[in-house]
Structure 1
């Protein structure tokens, strides 16, 4: 699968041979195989990528649409510069631990072919494995919804009729685009020649031009930065709340890190993969920090919080003039038009492959004469359409939907990190000859990955947890139906029953909170 907003410049992956595509919302819609997700009969061969190309490939994989809204999103949470940098510090450590977790799992358990949700199943049973797959799928389709709002928000710079990207013209335009992509994919179109190059250029050129312009034209004002560092848009907000409000922004721009090790099979030298992953992570973190810090030196946080999406366009317009906003908005439009095609493929292939592996209901494994997963393609886009309508009749925005998208993927992250920590303590012999380094260090990575995932769930807030419980609840019915179709037992363990009870109780509470107006969507 090779159509996305942040694709591998060196190679492509055919969607038909992928067992579990990687969702990378923050990466602008990157699609790649997750660790160990190649088909069972696919030989693991080494490619010709040296360490430099490995690094650039991983950077391209991770960096995406979220970077263009970063400046406004972090300010909108009311955080000061000190809180924002604290959140980046926590996420830097947490995401690094997750990166190393997925890297190690791809080496220790290469036989787990189902991707990120196979780790949950191996560690904690079929039901939690199913929920991991379910959360992954819902995260992908919610990403399409958030991209629709961001795309139309960027188009509004050229065509004011789209306003903030969530009005009726925006929903109509987004609907036309996603169903046109459904038609294309149903005809067997999975790749578009030249799209990868256009997406990569339209994404990275504006970012680097913006950073360079602010630095070399001396538009960074230390006085503004220090004022922002001391006080945010909401001075009354406790520091801890400021940090937690910023955390979902930081994970959004890093979602997709689990796919960073997918390129390991294309490495010239196996030992370069770990180095490349670490170097790429540092480079990506540096890009995000530069955008974050430089923006806080151009405008007060209160003004950054009021910028329409994509906020980086407003920052650059303030710094260098209208051409800066034109550059950013144009780049975002080109990038997301390609990203949404990639996500149409991804969000239909993901449940299709899950059904092929016996995780989802059998109907999801049906294809048309062109080999396209027609059932999941239509079902997925009907759900996307429903969310677009919800967006139209509510106060929900791009930020709301990407928070949900990032939140839904937290369970797969948490369970993968927990499985890795479990292996590190119960099967230390499995690390020998597979990964280097001290076992204690790997245990620390696993523990920190679990703690970080829990903290992110907390940071998603009451509204996020409320909606997420409602989104996980329907999955129980699909799980039971899928098991009955295959004549297999379901909800066998006490853990499964406890998880079902928690999901249903949370969903019930959520319905009450929404009905009484305690939670506003």
Structure 2
């Protein structure tokens, strides 16, 4: 893949369902000032993470599949497995949010789809999930080419949204929304905190070029694609959020049905605006779904090739597609989709769970970069003058991702354990296949914590302390 295709994978992975939900999500959490602070924090934090992936691509060119490989190299096989499995599960849960949002969009016209979590919505989503499954099995390169075309197609309506609304932008409305509006008493810290998992979700995919590093035409293109894709997407996300605060009052934004970009645009230009954004959303989400399905399967496949998951996950078909890994991905997406039937707000639930699952792999990748800079590994041979700068960047990225885990809250951390604990069965099968000891003493403690966390989460769900 050349630079343009790798950049499209990054942009295509990040620009999906999240951007179309930003007006309502930010309207529920904060006003214009809080939004500016939130994007400054998220932009800075995720930019340091993008720089970490750029640095690791240069310093560890032998490590493929990005997030998973860095965790294993830095902290051992079990944490490497947790990173791979968590990243894969995050991608699958995120893919469910795409189908929820598509059906919620259709629900504005066809009430049987509701907000994407009705029985007809789940049945129709199931048909499309398996249709995409067989599309992916035709070949990774073909799917990546489709993604490049779709990425261009889906950026157009988002840019039209921003540019057109600049002409309808009302400074008076924006001023009223700047502090949250009359009677809005939430502290600024609470406002910004409420947006953090949202910003993590919309930036998922920043590592897209790293995941596909083994397909890159040039190793240098991996870092360039990551930075180029991130800066482009940050500008788009922040613009969508801020122009919306200049169109309708925050209270109205907070009450809009998702995808909230549609009613915002409609309020400015009329009914055609809702249709325009809805079509753009469907194109965008289908493209993102394709990209994330590819990345999820790639992580399972590479982990199996590295002997960290059972060997059957490395099987490929005649098109060199990891058929078992793709099938596992589709099955988990299907299972999570079924849980949305019991969710009060399926989109928000899947958004936040996907974000929480992704944070552990991101934290381990950032911590590995910090470890390399601290121990000077690779710095004697490769650009030693960059050590202090990269030490600072890796430290900032590690702090940011650790802080995001705290912000996620106990609820989603516990729900993550429900996924990690049974997933460890794959790790155990892999170790037995190769005649290796199951856990080191430290890994045994980590596994025990994972199991206890899963039990606590199940009890909390059963007693109503946690709801989905």
TM over 0.5: yes
Q: Partners of 2:74 and 2:164 in 1: how far apart?
A: 49
1:421/1:446 contact within 8 Å kept: yes
Residue matched to 2:60: 109
Q: Residue 62 of structure 1: CA displacement?
A: 3.9
Quote the residue 1:4 is aligned against.
none
Deviates more, 1:336-345 or 1:510-519: 336-345
The answer on 1:347 being equivalent to 2:299 is: no
From 307, 314, 319, the equivalent of 2:268 is 319
Deviates more, 1:82-91 or 1:243-252: 82-91
SS in 1 for 2:35: helix
Shift of 1:350: 2.9
* 2:403 corresponds to 1:451: no
- The answer to whether 1:302 aligns with 2:251 is yes
1:259 Cα deviation from its structure 2 partner: 2.7
1:520 is matched with 467
Listed as ranges, the matches of 1:178-257 within 5 Å are 178-186=129-137, 191=142, 195-196=146-147, 198-215=149-166, 217=167, 219-231=168-180, 235-257=184-206
CA contact (8 A) 1:156 1:163 kept: yes
1:396-435 alignment, distance < 5 Å: 396-427=345-376, 430-432=378-380, 434-435=382-383
Decide whether the 8 Å contact of 2:353 with 2:416 is kept in 1: yes
* CA deviation map 1:118-149 (0-9, x unaligned): 11111111000010000111011112211110
SS class of match (1:303): helix
**CA 316–121 in structure 1, closer or farther in 2 if over 3 Å, else same:** same
Find out whether 1:485 has 2:415 as its counterpart: no
| Pairing 1:124–2:75 present | yes
Q: Are the structure 2 counterparts of residues 234 and 260 from structure 1 closer, same or farther at C-alpha, using a change threshold of 3 Å?
A: farther
Matches within 5 A, 1:30-109: 59=11, 62-76=14-28, 78-109=29-60
Residue of structure 2 equivalent to 1:497: 444
**How many Å apart are 1:155 and its aligned residue?**
2.5
Cα distance change on mapping 1:90 and 1:238 into 2, 3 Å:
same
- Post-superposition Cα deviations, 1:380-401, rounded to whole Å, max 9, x if no partner, equal 3222222111101222411211
Query: Are 2:30 and 2:191, in contact at CA under 8 Å, matched by a contact in 1?
Result: yes
RMSD in angstroms over aligned alpha carbons?
2.8
- Contact persistence 2:65–2:298 (CA under 8 A): no
What is the TM-score when the length of structure 1 is the normalising length?
0.82
| CA deviation vs aligned residue, 1:296-343 (integer Å, no higher than 9, x gap) | 111122211222221111111111111111111001112223433444
Preserved contact between residue 75 and residue 233 of structure 1 (Cα < 8 Å)? no
Q: Deviations over 1:229-274 (max 9, x none)?
A: 212698343332221110111111111112356689556x95x876
Q: Residue 79 of structure 2: SS of its match in structure 1?
A: helix
Cross-structure match for 1:43: none
From the two aligned structures, give the one with the greater helix fraction: 2
Q: Partner residue of 1:375?
A: 324
- Work out the CA distance in 2 between the residues paired with 1:290 and 1:96: 17
What's the CA shift for 1:224? 1.7
Deviation at 1:90, TM superposition (A): 1.1
Q: CA deviation at 1:157?
A: 3.8
Specify the alignment match of 2:454 in structure 1.
507
Q: Which runs of 5+ in 2 are unaligned?
A: none
Range 231-240 or range 447-456, more displaced: 231-240
Deviation at 1:435, TM superposition (A): 4.4
State the 1:371 CA deviation: 4.8
Cα gap change, 1:277/1:360 in structure 2, threshold over 3 Å: closer, same or farther?
closer
- Answer whether contact 2:90 2:355 (CA < 8 A) is retained: yes
Q: Shift of residue 467 of structure 1?
A: 0.9
The answer to whether the Cα contact below 8 Å between 1:260 and 1:277 also exists between their aligned partners in 2 is: yes
Contact (CA 8 Å) 2:12, 2:148: kept in 1 or not? no
Distance 1:121-1:316 versus aligned 2 partners, 3 A rule = same
Q: CA deviation at 1:451?
A: 0.8
Match among 153, 167, 180 for residue 104 of structure 2: 153
**TM-superposed deviation, 1:275:** 6.8
Indicate conservation of the 8 Å contact 1:233/1:305, yes or no.
Answer: no
Helix, strand or coil at the partner of 2:142: coil
Which residues of structure 1 form unaligned runs of 5+? 2-7, 12-31, 33-53
2:410 to 442, 457, 462: 462
Deviating more after overlay: 403-412 vs 496-505: 496-505
CA offsets 1:444-501 (integer angstroms, 9 cap, x no match): 111111111011111222321121111111122221121011111121142x123212
